[in-house]
Structure 1
Amino acid sequence: MIFISEFLRGTAPLKQTENLRVEKIIPLIEPTALKLELPMTPEAEATVSGAREAIRRILSKEDKRLIVIAGPCSIHDETSAIEYAEKACRFERKKV
């Protein structure tokens, strides 16, 4: 048992509790550097603008479609993204 007095004096043995399974840390590329390295193409810009406008129209009830935004909070690799999309498609097909 570790007593608070030992901890405060710094005599209690400390056990590492963070990064126990971290093999290495790789810094992320800064967003500004990434934008310079991979600028948005006109096609990508048109896709983003079009999607934003479609969403705006749905949310403002100018478009009667229903919008559903669902998905994992993060996708760490292409395989996971494809697997998730396939599951979503199967769910949609069952629903219809």
Structure 2
Amino acid sequence: MTTPETDRVSDQRIDRVVPLTTPAMLHHEICPWTTKLSSAVLTGRRAVGRVLDRTDDRLLVVVGPCSVHDPAAALDYAHRLRRGRRSARDDLLVVMRSTSRSHARRWAGRGLSTTPGWTAPAT
């Protein structure tokens, strides 16, 4: 059995222990799931599943930013994509992919999950 005194001996470099919020709880606080959001996700997944199962003969087109650094710009992109995909909806199933972190770049482009104030370098 360990006691706080024996823990102090084995963890000499630990000043204090601060409990962390679980990823699930953090996600819930940032983006709580609503019925409308759940329905949109499930509808999209079913549509993609039908294309992959070949019960829907449309071409699946996955587009989007490598990672999101600006939430407002990502929403703007999503709204533009929604308007643009309507004209091809009989032939294409266009879905937006997005991550909050990118491993594809060597420079500091790691997305909002690690660098919330980061902006891309000018090219």
If the length of structure 2 is used for normalisation, what is the TM-score? 0.40
Larger fraction in helix: 1
Larger fraction in strand: 2
Q: Which has the larger radius of gyration?
A: 1
